[in-house]
């Protein structure tokens, strides 16, 4: 729990949180919960073992939905609170995730993902529509956390803030504002209809009509300003950013109905349309509620946690032992090896770290850290092994969320998503134009229908059905593929897979099996000390060749070395006592000297003592997979190893397959870039160890994973080794999935055409249009779920 030093007096008279007067007679030592007048923060007074009196935030359920006054956010200026809430913090970049229950449509996503246009200090934001959350990156030198939260509150998305997420306690807060808005709209709609009933039958007298009209205005006003405020606020901020979204025609329709009705009632020229206004907002909110219900009822969570760091090497009295993340405790000392992800917020105890935070920030530059400095969860250790002390636990859901966020700087275009964005952009302009033309037409021919027709056009046409087609149809496909151990990062990956025309394989760990590498020593008989030094050195590495050599060398080893460094694609080196050991490729050991380049050399104190012959065994089912894939795609091999296996590979690869060996990670990346510049869409399949750059550069990067250490955040998909032989079936299914989206587009198009036809003719009441608008979105959602499920079952048979 988060603690602040209490005032010295025995009675708290001022709220240290906002400065307001607190209730009288609340002594410091009464150990009772209380809430100050001006805040929603409940805290408990405690005594801290003679070290001073403290009060502790006991329940921080979130900012009050009733008020977004700045005073509610004073606590976000406190440095300890900031440190507890932030997920990542460096000098010019901070990251934090918020739960935003107000998210309900495509317009919300657009507004929240363009926060940087409202506040330059906000660097970027990413919305998870299904989880109702957003991750915000900001520059703390330009904007504070408090200002970020205030900005979210001002535009209508006050976030839930809960410090207890760090203690494991559950917040009792639930956002009930939608229910309040729905209840108010329903109450006013029913009463306005009831009061207008005599008028419908023509029984109302002029004097009675006068009073009923004003009562209806009183009933409709809170419906407009409270129940419908989300649409009005979204439209306002979108226009302020000089953009357009679907909430604009809805807001215009609401304001038109209200002000036209007030004008008719005040001037006694008509009865107005307040019943339609209240009913319109009421049914919109029912649609929103149903969408929320559907979101929470259907789980798109994918069980890919087993492919992320599920354990860590922890120092115990008996040496280094592997322990699962959920069993780690604050103060534990962990070892993080080369290419491993830092599994927690920690203090660097031993070694100099070079950390790749691209998993967290999208920036690929290595950040150097010295002993005593803080490291954040999600960074990838590059080079030397390090020892860290756990400061704050994070769970696997945080690490998987980082992967979902797709924060890498390379922009991999998804054509379907781009098309939907373009349709949404011009859709609103088209609808506004049709509405204005409809209004002008009916003002000329029948003024009694003009405003109803105008409002009905604005309401009935909605691109939300198009916007929801992709996340629901493809989102369900992600879930279904996850059951077959094929995990895609997000729905945009499906779109890019559909464009692929060339597949490039890495060799080691992809075509060959990591767990079936045989290493045999070739050379003179080694002494026990030499075996000890070699075995201790390769133990520090995570590479499959190091693991194979470790098992090939008999004898004892030590887990602690004075110095260790791993050079990607080359080898490893270590200092143990006064001895310097190097194990790696011929070029790594001998440089440009002539000689046999095959195998792995071992060197101690500058003298080569022997060589390991490496035998790679093919992954089960790879021959059939390559044969079938070559009928639909161009196939090639890009490997960092020598060409020792070339003849064997030619027996099952097509004759025109290109095989390139002895490639550095940079060579792989540049080759893929050159193929892309030639117009090809590349799918790269690797193991994630020496090909992270190539995986990131490719249009789709797939990692074959057999254990957590192979994971790389650069990939777009993770394929479980057990499902390797089924890859062609998955790719074929994903290519066919585009027809599901086409079907959803046809449904949405037909709905809009038919709805507009009746609305333009003045044959559709606004209240009916308000029912049809969310109904179209719900129809597309259900269609997407059913169609994708049925198609998947067909391919799985």
In this predicted structure, what is the pLDDT of residue 523?
A: 56
Q: What would the mean pLDDT of 607-619 be, rounded to a whole number?
A: 83
| Among 548, 510, 555, 509, CA closest to 532 | 555
DSSP 6: P
* First vs last C-alpha separation in the chain: 52
pLDDT of residue 708: 45
| Over residues 334-346, mean pLDDT | 82
- The number of residues making up the chain comes to 797
Nearest to 633 by CA among 652, 615, 654: 654
Tokens linked to 163: 């410090």
* Phi then psi dihedrals of residue 93, to 5 deg: -150, 130
Burial bucket for residue 452 (CB in 10 Å: 0-12, 13-18, 19+): buried
pLDDT at 765: 72
- Residue 338 CA to residue 341 CA, distance in Å, equals 9
Q: Model confidence over 572-601: pLDDT tens digits?
A: 999 998 999 999 888 888 876 665 567 788
CA-closest candidate to residue 118, choices 93, 151, 73, 158: 151
Within its chain, how far is the Cα of 212 from the centroid? 51
E-assigned strands of 630-788?
A: 634-638, 658-660, 682-686, 700-705, 717-720
Question: Average pLDDT in the 732-736 region?
Answer: 90
pLDDT per residue over 449-489, tens digit each? 887 788 778 777 766 666 667 767 887 888 888 888 888 87
The span from the CA of 141 to the CA of 143, in Å, is 6
Q: Chain-centre distance of CA 277, in angstroms?
A: 37
Predicted local distance difference test score (pLDDT) of residue 415: 55
pLDDT of residue 640: 78
Give the mean model confidence (pLDDT) for residues 54-82. 51
Rounded Cα gap, residues 72 and 39, in angstroms: 6
Assign 3-class secondary structure to 245-275: CCHHHHHHHHHHHHHHHHHHHHHCCCCCCHH
Residue 405 is predicted with a pLDDT of 55
The DSSP 8-state label assigned to residue 717 in this structure reads: E
pTM of the model: 0.60
Residue 321: pLDDT over 90: no
Tokens of 96: 């934090």
The residues facing 608 across adjacent strands are 603
pLDDT of residue 605: 93
Hey, which residues does 312 pair with through a beta bridge?
323
Task: Pull the structure tokens for residue 439.
Answer: 């209004």
By three-state DSSP, how is residue 23 classified?
Answer: coil
| Separation of alpha carbons 134 and 98, rounded Å | 5
Q: How many CA atoms lie within 13 A of 210 on its CB side?
A: 4
Tokens standing for residue 650 = 């030619």
Q: For residue 207, what pLDDT is reported? A: 64
**pLDDT band for position 44 (50/70/90)?**
very low
How far, in Å, CA of 570 to CA of 589, rounded? 9
Q: Which of 120-129, 153-162, 343-352, 477-486 shows the lowest per-residue confidence on average (mean pLDDT)?
A: 153-162
Helices (H), 14-101: 79-85
Q: 120 pairs with which residues across the strands? A: none
> Angle at Cα 558 formed by Cα 556 and Cα 560, nearest 5°?
175
Residue with tokens 């030639």: 678
Beginning with the edge strand found earlier in the chain, give each strand of the sheet holding 486-488 in spatial order: 486-488, 717-720, 700-705, 682-686, 502-505, 634-638, 658-660
Pairing of strands 717-720, 486-488: antiparallel
- CA dist 201 → 197, 264, 365, 577, 767 (Å): 7, 19, 74, 100, 19
Tell me the pLDDT tens digit for each residue of 521-568. 775 578 889 889 999 998 888 777 888 888 888 888 887 788 888 887
């Amino acid at each position: 729990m988060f603690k602040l030093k209490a005032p010295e007096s025995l009675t708290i008279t001022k709220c240290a949180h906002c400065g307001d007067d607190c209730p009288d007679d609340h002594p410091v030592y009464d150990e009772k919960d209380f809430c100050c007048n001006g805040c929603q923060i409940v805290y408990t007074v405690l005594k801290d073992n003679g070290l001073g009196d403290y009060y502790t935030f006991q329940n921080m359920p979130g900012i009050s939905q009733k008020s977004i006054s700045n005073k509610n956010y004073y606590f976000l200026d406190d440095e300890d609170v900031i440190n507890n809430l932030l997920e990542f913090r460096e000098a010019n970049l901070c990251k934090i995730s918020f739960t935003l229950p107000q998210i309900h449509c495509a317009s919300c996503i657009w507004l929240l993902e363009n926060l940087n246009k409202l506040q330059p200090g906000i660097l970027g934001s990413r919305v998870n529509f299904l989880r109702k959350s957003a991750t915000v990156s900001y520059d703390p030198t330009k904007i504070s956390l408090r200002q970020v939260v205030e900005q979210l509150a001002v535009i209508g998305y006050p976030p839930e803030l809960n410090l207890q997420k760090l203690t494991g306690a559950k917040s009792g807060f639930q956002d009930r504002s939608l229910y309040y808005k729905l209840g108010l709209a329903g109450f006013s709609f029913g009463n306005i209809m009831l009061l207008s009933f005599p008028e419908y039958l023509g029984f109302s007298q002029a004097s009675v009509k006068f009073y009923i009209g004003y009562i209806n205005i009183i009933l409709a006003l809170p419906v407009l300003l409270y129940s419908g405020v989300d649409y009005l606020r979204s439209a306002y901020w979108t226009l302020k950013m000089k953009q357009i979204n679907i909430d604009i025609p809805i807001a215009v329709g609401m304001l038109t109905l209200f002000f036209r009705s007030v004008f008719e009632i005040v001037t006694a020229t008509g009865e107005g349309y307040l019943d339609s206004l209240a009913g319109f907002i009421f049914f919109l909110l029912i649609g929103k509620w149903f969408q929320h219900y559907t979101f929470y009822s259907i789980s798109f969570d994918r069980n890919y946690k087993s492919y992320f760091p599920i354990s860590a090497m922890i120092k115990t009295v008996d040496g280094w032992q592997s322990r699962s993340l959920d069993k780690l405790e604050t103060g534990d000392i962990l070892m993080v090896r080369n290419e491993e992800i830092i599994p927690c917020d920690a203090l660097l105890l031993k070694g100099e770290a070079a950390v790749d935070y691209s998993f967290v920030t999208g920036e690929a530059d290595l950040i150097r850290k010295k002993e005593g400095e803080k490291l954040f969860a999600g960074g990838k250790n590059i080079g030397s092994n390090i020892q860290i002390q756990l400061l704050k636990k994070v769970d696997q859901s945080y690490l998987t969320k980082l992967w979902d966020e797709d924060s890498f700087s390379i922009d991999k275009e998804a054509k379907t998503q781009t098309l939907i964005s373009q349709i949404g952009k011009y859709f609103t302009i088209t609808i506004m134009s049709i509405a204005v033309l409809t209004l002008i037409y009916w003002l000329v021919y029948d003024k009694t229908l003009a405003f109803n027709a105008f409002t009905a056009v604005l309401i009935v046409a909605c691109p939300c059905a198009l916007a929801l087609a992709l996340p629901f149809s493809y989102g369900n496909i992600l879930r279904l593929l996850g059951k077959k151990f094929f995990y895609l990062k997000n729905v945009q990956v499906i779109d890019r897979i559909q464009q692929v025309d060339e597949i490039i394989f890495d060799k080691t760990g992809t075509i060959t099996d990591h767990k079936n590498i045989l290493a045999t020593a070739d050379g003179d008989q080694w002494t026990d000390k030499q075996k000890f030094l070699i075995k201790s050195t390769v133990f520090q590495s995570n590479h499959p060749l190091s693991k194979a050599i470790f098992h090939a060398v008999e004898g004892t080893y030590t887990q602690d070395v004075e110095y260790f460094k791993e050079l990607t694609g080359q080898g490893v080196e270590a200092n143990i006592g006064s001895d310097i050991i190097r194990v790696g490729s011929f070029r790594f050991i001998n440089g440009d000297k002539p000689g046999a380049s095959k195998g792995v050399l071992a060197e101690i104190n500058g003298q080569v003592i022997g060589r390991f012959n490496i035998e790679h065994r093919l992954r089960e089912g790879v021959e059939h997979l390559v044969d079938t894939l070559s009928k639909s795609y161009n196939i090639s091999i890009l490997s960092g190893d020598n060409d020792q296996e070339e003849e064997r590979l030619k027996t099952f690869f097509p004759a025109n397959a290109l095989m390139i060996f002895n490639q550095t990670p940079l060579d792989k990346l540049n080759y893929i870039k050159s193929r892309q510049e030639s117009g090809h869409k590349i799918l790269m399949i690797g193991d994630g160890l020496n090909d992270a750059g190539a995986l990131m550069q490719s249009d789709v990067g797939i990692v074959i994973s057999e254990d957590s250490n192979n994971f790389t955040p650069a990939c777009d998909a993770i394929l479980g080794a057990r499902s390797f032989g089924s890859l062609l079936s998955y790719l074929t299914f994903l290519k066919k999935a585009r027809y599901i989206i086409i079907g959803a587009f046809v449904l949405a198009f037909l709905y809009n055409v038919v709805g507009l036809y009746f609305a333009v003719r003045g044959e559709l009441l606004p209240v009916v249009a308000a029912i049809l608008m969310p109904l179209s979105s719900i129809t597309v959602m259900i269609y997407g779920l059913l169609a994708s499920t049925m198609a998947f079952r067909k391919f799985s048979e």
